[in-house]
Structure 1
């Protein structure tokens, strides 16, 4: 495993405060709104229809603020595959789109649909649904006080990050490949390994272009604070065994990222890893069992 770049450790997270100090954790009015929208997903059946949201003008303003910041950031810091997918995606700039507005375009381009989530979804359901062309997405909006960062997935992350991904047939196929692997296994340990492969590629992956790491993962694409913060993190050349052996935390910046040499390299790495993936992969490759507390 080679290191592409290693800088002196600096806390990127410190720019915004720790996740448990984020204003969205303590604003009771915000929590009530967020929790009410999340509750809609209780007992939701994958692929079943669900109601639109009557977003407020303040929520639309947050969307505009983030969109206006991220659009030029993508042009500067995102990889070529993402830029091409963004051109194909039909994502409005002025207001939050309903899931029902995004899904028809995704179906046409890649066969994917958004399905309702209330927050973090268990690996078996979340990863497995991707084989069948469903991506779990939330409807609530990040806190307006810190619009350029959120410690949990929100509608901006799911639509502006994954919505762009799922507008590309090539990228969408990577979701299906991981989904097929998830549906072949039965153990929690195997799903945890696969979730880390997903995390360090489709959520936080980088692709090297002209010697520089460019943002690929949806979490980077939807966070202005993270999309170009590679200078303060360790960036390693993509090695899926190493990625599968690296713990992650959902609600904070990642200290280590992995960069594929090209999109073709990423396709090949995920394809080969998932083609042979089974419940014994962890033992066979000597992958460690890691704690599951990733909040």
Structure 2
């Protein structure tokens, strides 16, 4: 049985809903900051910020999802109508257009206030130094739900990443592929007010508090872009699955040792009130790509196994090298113990 008081488990990339950058200009390229040495080849061949294929992917595949019966807002017609209205903004959005504002209610702003305040307190205890420094740079509002256009404008200034609104679920390859263009696909709706510390799906709390804060770090933004480019080289289903598991156990649920304490840099943990307080009870294993790529995970439960890097500098160097060299042969070579 699922316990709904605190946990927020769900897939971070299995056909999720994500946000796209907001900008009033069709030329949304922004100067890069802090490009990692391993990324230079990737930078030179970076895909154009707006391709027709990306536009078709975002506007043609994403859809407004009907709520399942176990969703906290299923029996609330007002919430369902609000969610549909907000999702429609993402459905109507076209790349290059200004990001439409979602006019949040006082109740929705209150949900953000409550969650933001509690997570902010926990970040000081459990989040890694890189996240907390990036969070200060991005400086999200705590009294109201931020508009994606605001987050997009600040992120583009800080690291060149853009936020794009989408209405609902997008295919795995679409989400990852957008990262290769420094585009992060994000929802705009927020969880139901009755359970502010729980969501059965990614919402703006996860997208912005978990991911956007980390994307305010130049070297983390470079890792996201490298990850997106790596996904484009994963042409087989098997290699994409291996890549997705590594992404899950690092970008979404990764841990790092700092000052003798376990801290997290994973967006799934950073945006979950329940799980960020529980991750130190999980089985913590040394950082190992082969184990990550071979390990199944249950998106409906707290993660029983997590992987910790010895330091954040080591993590950035190691992940950058892995993503920069990833292709269809990587999974079999890593699992066979062949050096790359």
User: One fold, TM greater than 0.5?
Assistant: yes
Name the residue aligned to 1:176.
Answer: 225
Report how far residue 49 of structure 1 moved: 3.6
- What CA deviation, in whole Å up to 9, does each residue of 1:247-268 have, x standing for no partner? 2344442222111111122112
CA contact (8 A) 1:152 1:251 kept: no
- Residue 86 of structure 1: which of 121, 135, 141 is its match? 135
Distance 1:105 1:80 in 2: 20
* Residue in 2 that maps onto 1:219: 268
State how far apart, in whole Å, the 1-side matches of 2:92 and 2:78 are: 25
Query: Bigger CA drift: 51-60 or 111-120?
Result: 111-120
Among candidates 254, 259, 279, match of residue 308 of structure 2:
259
Structure 1 equivalent of residue 53 of structure 2: none
Cα distance per residue 1:206-257 (max 9 Å; x no partner): 1111332112111111111111212432221221221122223444422221
| 2:180 is equivalent to residue 118 of structure 1 | no
- 1:43, CA displacement in angstroms? 7.3
Q: What TM-score do you get using the length of structure 2 for normalisation? A: 0.74
Task: Classify 1:50/1:63 alpha carbon distance in 2 versus 1 (closer, same or farther; 3 Å).
Answer: same
User: TM-score, normalization: structure 1?
Assistant: 0.85
CA distance in 1, matches of 2:190, 2:123: 20
Rate the CA distance shift 1:146–1:188 in 2: closer, same or farther, 3 A.
same
Check conservation: 2:6, 2:273, Cα contact below 8 A.
no
Q: Bigger CA drift: 222-231 or 83-92?
A: 222-231
How many residue pairs are counted as aligned between the two chains?
A: 277
| Aligned counterpart, 1:274 | 323
Change (3 A) 1:64 1:16: closer
* 1:290 match: none
Q: Which runs of 5+ in 2 are unaligned?
A: 10-68
User: Is the CA contact 1:90–1:102 (under 8 Å) kept in the aligned structure 2?
Assistant: no
Name the structure 2 match of 1:156.
205
| Root mean square deviation of aligned Cα | 2.5
Contact 2:252 2:266 in 1 (8 A): yes
Distance 1:109 1:18, change over 3 A: closer
1:51 and 2:116 are equivalent in the alignment: no
Q: Which runs of 4+ in 1 moved over 6 A?
A: 17-20
Per-residue CA deviation, residues 149-187 of structure 1 (Å, 9 max, x unaligned), is: 222111111111111111110111110110111122322
Write the mapping of 1:32-47 to structure 2, written as runs, cut at 5 A: 32-42=81-91, 45-46=94-95
- Secondary structure in structure 2 of the residue aligned to 1:41: helix
Distance in 1 between the 2:168 and 2:316 partners? Answer: 28
- Alignment CA distance shift 1:118-1:214 (3 Å): same
Structure 1: runs of 5 or more not aligned: 1-10, 288-295
Greater alpha carbon shift after TM alignment, 12-21 vs 268-277? 12-21
Q: 1:25 to 1:197 in 2, by over 3 A?
A: farther
Q: Give yes or no for contact 1:161–1:218 (8 Å, CA) kept in 2.
A: yes
